[in-house]
Amino acid sequence: MDNEKKMTDKEITAIGAGVAILGSLLFYWFGQFISTIELLELAYGSLNFFNNPLTF
Amino acid sequence: MLNSLLSQYTRSLILVAVLLLIVILEVLEVRAAIYPGLLPFFEWARSSSWLGLIGTTYGSIYATVEAVHLLSMAVIGGTVLATDLRLLGVVFRDLPSETLTKGTHKVFSAALISAIATGIFCAAGVGDKVYYMEVFWIKMLALVAGSLFVFLVKQPLLNSMPHDEINPWTIRLLAVTSLLIWFTVAATGRWIGFS
């Protein structure tokens, strides 16, 4: 007795495309986050949001 | 055996072929080779095409078309939020998701056509500027990927059977992917505006 439902072609395509696109977008936005942090560190020496040397 | 596999899993095999093709094109640096050849087209769009000429000559027309572009993007955002948050079970839980997805898809398609048509006009007016922007190309990539995802992957699956027969994790993956794709299109669009 096989109670498990066989996945359809459309379901496999949806999972494959979803994983590929979601993975790529997460990779892109994570990269943007890291480069933003690096820019902030370059500008302020270290991340210090509440004691910003440019705001007196 | 092979014929049965090909006919049974046509879409999956096409997806694998497309992903392989993308990897091969990237390894062979085809994208980098094509990029410089596109500059004359963008310069022509900005300086010589009638779209570019209208856009750069009449600021009021450019602003009006851009407003329609932003409204179309807002409608896309609304339909995507309504559809995908319903698929995630967050909003409109009293409505059948089959009814909602079919209804919003028609509005989404019309808004997408409008956004693309007005977007071409807007890009033509600043063709020589957007060509050099990485974020413009990210938006185009996300737009193409999002459109193909919606019309060739998401809707065919959602229309093929009652949603409660689809694995809930597959539905969640579809919804989250769709939300992130259209978030990227919207965010990179605004990024172009602020660059």
- Average the pLDDT over each of A21-30, A44-53, B60-69, B160-169 and give the range with the smallest value: A44-53
pLDDT band at residue B147 using 50, 70 and 90 as cut-offs: very high
The string of pLDDT tens digits covering residues B116-141 is 999 999 998 888 889 999 999 999 99
Q: Give the span between the Cα atoms of B11 and B176, in whole angstroms.
A: 21
Q: Is A14 in Cβ contact with B180 (below 8 Å)?
A: no
The pLDDT assigned to A4 comes to 64
Contacts of A11 in chain B (CB under 8 A): 157, 166-167, 170
pLDDT band at B195 (very low <50, low <70, confident <90, very high): confident
Q: Which residues of B touch A (CB under 8 A)?
A: 8-12, 14-16, 19, 138, 142, 145, 149, 153-154, 156-157, 160-161, 166-167, 170, 173-174, 176-177, 180-181, 184
Higher pLDDT, A38 or B172: B172
Which pLDDT tens digit goes with each residue over B2-21? 777 778 888 889 999 999 99
| CA-wise closest residue to B175 among B84, B77, B82, B83 | B84
Question: What's the whole-number mean pLDDT along residues B147-169?
Answer: 92
Question: Which two three-digit tokens encode residue A8?
Answer: 């359809």
Instruction: List, in order, residues 6 or more apart from A22 with CB less than 8 Å away.
Output: B173, B176, B177, B180
- A-chain residue closest to B159, CA distance: A10
Q: Is A29 on the interface with B (CB under 8 A)?
A: yes
Nearest to B134 by CA among B22, B21, B31, B27: B31
- Does residue A11 belong to the interface with chain B, where contact is any CB pair within 8 Å? yes
Interface test with A, best of B7, B11, B21 (most A CBs within 10 A): B11
Region for A45 from its dihedrals, namely left if φ exceeds 0, alpha if ψ lies in -120 to 50, beta otherwise: left
Q: B160 or A50, which is more confident?
A: B160
pLDDT confidence bin for A1, thresholds 50/70/90: very low
Q: What is the pLDDT of residues B90-102, one digit of tens each?
A: 999 999 999 999 9
Nearest CB to B181 within list A8, A12, A25: A25
* Token output for B194: 């602020």
**On the CB side of B34, how many CA atoms lie within 13 Å of its CA?**
6
Reported in sequence order, the residue ranges of chain B that DSSP labels E, i.e. its strands, are none
8 Å CB contact of A11 and B157:
yes
| ipTM confidence | 0.87
As a whole number of angstroms, the distance between CA A13 and CA A47 comes to: 43
pLDDT in tens, A3-37: 567 788 899 999 999 999 999 999 999 999 888 88
Cβ A1 vs Cβ B125: under 8 Å: no
In this complex, which of B8, B160, B174 lies closest to A18 when CB atoms are compared?
Answer: B174
What is d(CA B58, CA B161) in angstroms, rounded to the nearest whole number? 50
